[in-house]
């Protein structure tokens, strides 16, 4: 279906691909992986003919259709969510304009007119609308959202509407660039299950390893300007990559040992008349050897030890009789909750159930109407918001933010070491925080929390915009964190690794499950049941 051959791509004088090759077959589910800046999104742009390669081709069968979901949503006007999801907002408007143009010219019978009117009728087909509604529900929309103006919603919700449109259209090949970034856990699980049985092919870029483990059957890694193929899911790729590295390293060492032995013979006997001819023969043998390149070791997560926070009381924080409402929308009525010291608690539940609101109540970020929030003895609380930029001083550099956050306990070289491990290298530490990308702001805020930790850490979607290795580094740090953690995440791997307790938030109730994520699934039958019920019929 899609074939890439002999590809060479340079951007800004830097070669991203050299003689790269790739094959995606009909119905195949493929993940494209590699560090930030390796060229994943650039490869998508080449496939979509948005950028021309320096050499090589990206070709596909001429009749196949593509569906592309970028990382960022395009601006929208007055179109409703449902109009976006059915395709009426984009394709429909173009078709209508074309039909009007033809009819003004007196053309009511041509092939062009027939094709345009037929396609417009398809876009307004009640079956297509019903399908669009099912997709929207699966991705977290309520029925009351269907006729809202999509342009008035956040970028994340606009992305969901565009994703719904792609799923309704059902192209032969879906190209998805970080499709899970803007999804809550329920919507992610719904999409994961849907893509397992998707009739077309899927080529995706993702930093969610559990998502890839569940979906993909082939992984292409961008490494040393090549596209290296691995059969199986992401976990299988990690195993194969490690095995390949060990084999290549052994081959390199063996060859180096052979060369060293030959060279020692040459050096020893070159000046000895009786052995000179043998020495020259060995020297020519060395020159004929096709050298095995020393392989680059696979990148590993950075291990960072979070300093011990101040010791708090056995009860980290408690809520008593909390009533919380936004206008007429009642979120909680009489909520009681206790978080114990040392717990790592994840909040799960459907979108709009009140998870972020609960985190904000614990953080003191919102005013509730009734009840009491009781921080524990010696509680030091910090809140890691989804809105990262609000916690950064736009006038400070990256380095200044970190040193200031450590209360002066970090030397500049120590701060640069931590920053380098979270991908802020060389001159990047002198960038003003005002110009940082979403991913850079997330990483910088994480560092600020890690160098001066509270004893109660509240985190709302901390893994958004992080690559897989940075997520692993964060997991390693938080596993050894001596404080109390309450968090929301859509990354199932992150949840599984960290959560020791689950709070299921739904319809104003909070049910506690004193165990990890798998224990919660065992007791409840799984979150997927909630979304299945929403999309049934």
Question: Would residue 429 count as lying in a domain?
Answer: no
Last residue in a domain, options 170, 194, 214: 170
- 72 CB-near residues (< 8 Å, 6+ apart): 155, 159
pLDDT tens for residues 482-537?
999 999 999 999 999 999 999 999 888 999 999 999 999 888 876 655 555 445 44
pLDDT at 533: 46
Closest among 212, 203, 198, 207 to 176, alpha carbons compared: 203
Determine the Cα–Cα distance for residues 537 and 529; give it in Å rounded to an integer: 14
201 C-beta neighbours (distance < 10 Å), count: 21
Residues 332 and 452 both lie in one domain:
yes
Q: List the domain range (segments joined by +) for residue 494.
A: 315-392+441-535
Determine the Cα–Cα distance for residues 429 and 131; give it in Å rounded to an integer: 48
pLDDT at 426 over 90: no
Residues 166 and 101 both lie in one domain:
yes
pLDDT tens for residues 331-357?
999 999 999 999 999 999 887 789 999
Residues 180 and 159 both lie in one domain:
no
Question: Would residue 406 count as lying in a domain?
Answer: no
Residue bearing tokens 């708090």? 312
pLDDT at 18: 93
Confidence of residue 211 (pLDDT cuts 50, 70, 90): very high
- Residue 128, CB-side half-sphere exposure with 13 Å CA sphere: 19
Question: Would residue 144 count as lying in a domain?
Answer: yes
Determine the Cα–Cα distance for residues 266 and 269; give it in Å rounded to an integer: 6
DSSP 207: S
What is the chain's length? 537
pLDDT tens for residues 430-472?
989 888 877 788 788 888 888 888 999 999 988 887 888 888 9
Residues 367 and 476 both lie in one domain:
yes
Q: What is the three-class DSSP state of 480? A: coil
pLDDT tens for residues 212-235?
999 999 999 998 899 999 999 999
pLDDT tens for residues 10-52?
988 889 999 999 999 999 999 999 887 789 989 999 999 998 9
CATH code of residue 232 = 3.40.50.300
Residues 97 and 158 both lie in one domain:
yes
State both tokens at 96. 């209508």
Residue 18 burial by Cβ neighbours in a 10 Å radius (0-12, 13-18, 19+) = middle
pLDDT at 536: 47
pLDDT at 118 over 90: no
pLDDT at 300 over 90: no
Starting at the edge strand found earlier in the chain, the sheet holding 201-205 runs 66-69, 173-177, 201-205, 29-33, 218-223, 226-231
Number of domains the chain is built from: 3
Question: Would residue 347 count as lying in a domain?
Answer: yes
Among the residue ranges 105-114, 126-135, 278-287, the one predicted with the least confidence is 105-114
pLDDT at 386 over 80: no
Residues 356 and 470 both lie in one domain:
yes
Last residue in a domain, options 125, 150, 170: 170
Average pLDDT, the chain: 88
Residues 166 and 178 both lie in one domain:
no
pLDDT at 517: 92
Question: Would residue 127 count as lying in a domain?
Answer: yes
Are 201 and 174 a contacting pair, CB within 8 Å? yes
Residues 153 and 86 both lie in one domain:
yes
DSSP 355: H
The pTM for the full model equals 0.82
What is the mean predicted confidence (pLDDT) over 102-127? 80
What is the mean predicted confidence (pLDDT) over 351-365? 90
Question: Would residue 265 count as lying in a domain?
Answer: no
pLDDT at 281: 92
Question: Would residue 431 count as lying in a domain?
Answer: no
Question: Would residue 423 count as lying in a domain?
Answer: no
pLDDT at 156: 82
Task: Name the residue with higher pLDDT: 362 or 451.
Answer: 362
* Residues forming beta bridges with residue 223, ordered by sequence position: 226
Residues 178 and 45 both lie in one domain:
yes
């Amino acid at each position: 279906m899609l074939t890439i051959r002999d590809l060479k791509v340079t951007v800004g004088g830097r070669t991203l691909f050299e003689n790269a090759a790739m094959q995606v077959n009909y119905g195949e589910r493929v993940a494209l992986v590699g560090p930030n800046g390796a060229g994943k999104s650039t490869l998508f742009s080449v496939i979509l003919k948005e950028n021309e390669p320096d050499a090589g081709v990206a070709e596909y069968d001429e009749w196949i259709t593509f569906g592309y979901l970028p990382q960022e949503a395009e601006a929208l006007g007055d179109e409703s969510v449902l109009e976006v999801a059915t395709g009426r907002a984009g394709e429909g408007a173009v078709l209508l304009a074309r039909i009007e143009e033809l009819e003004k010219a007196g053309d009511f019978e041509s092939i062009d007119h027939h094709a345009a009117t037929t396609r417009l009728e398809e876009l307004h087909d009640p079956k297509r609308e019903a399908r669009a509604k099912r997709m929207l529900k699966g991705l977290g929309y309520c029925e009351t959202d269907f006729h809202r103006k999509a342009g008035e919603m956040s970028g994340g919700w606009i992305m969901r509407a565009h994703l719904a449109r792609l799923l309704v259209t059902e192209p032969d090949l879906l190209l998805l660039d970080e499709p899970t970034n803007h999804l809550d856990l329920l919507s992610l699980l719904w999409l994961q299950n849907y893509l397992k049985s998707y009739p077309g092919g899927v080529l995706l870029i993702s930093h969610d390893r559990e998502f890839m483990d569940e979906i993909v059957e082939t992984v292409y890694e961008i490494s040393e300007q090549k596209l290296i193929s691995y059969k199986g899911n992401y976990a299988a790729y990690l195993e194969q990559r490690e095995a390949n590295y060990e084999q290549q390293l052994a081959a390199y060492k063996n060859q180096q040992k052979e060369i060293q032995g030959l060279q020692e013979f040459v050096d020893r006997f070159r000046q000895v008349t009786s052995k000179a001819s043998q020495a020259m023969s060995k020297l020519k043998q060395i020159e004929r050897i096709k050298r095995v390149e020393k392989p680059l070791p696979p990148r590993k997560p950075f291990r960072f030890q979070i300093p011990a926070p101040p010791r708090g009381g056995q009860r980290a924080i408690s809520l008593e009789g909390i009533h919380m409402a936004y206008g007429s929308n009642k979120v909680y009525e009489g909520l009681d909750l206790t978080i114990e010291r040392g717990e790592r608690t994840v909040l799960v539940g459907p979108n709009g159930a009140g998870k972020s609101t609960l985190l904000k109540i614990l953080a003191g970020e919102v005013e509730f109407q009734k009840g009491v929030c009781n921080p524990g003895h010696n509680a030091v609380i910090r809140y890691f918001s989804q809105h990262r930029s609000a916690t950064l001083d736009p006038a400070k550099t990256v380095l200044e933010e970190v040193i200031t956050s450590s209360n002066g306990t970090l030397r500049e070289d120590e701060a640069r070491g931590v920053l380098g491990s979270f991908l802020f290298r060389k001159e990047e530490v002198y960038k003003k925080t005002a110009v940082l990308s979403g991913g850079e702001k997330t990483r910088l805020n994480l560092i600020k929390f890690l160098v001066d930790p509270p004893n109660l850490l509240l985190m709302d979607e901390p893994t958004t915009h992080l690559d897989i290795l940075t997520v692993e580094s964060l997991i390693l740090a938080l596993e050894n964190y001596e404080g109390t953690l309450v968090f929301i995440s859509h990354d199932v791997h992150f949840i599984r690794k960290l959560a020791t307790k689950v709070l299921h938030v739904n319809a104003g109730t909070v049910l506690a499950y004193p165990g990890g994520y798998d224990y919660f699934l065992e007791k409840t039958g799984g979150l997927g049941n909630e979304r299945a019920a929403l999309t049934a019929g």
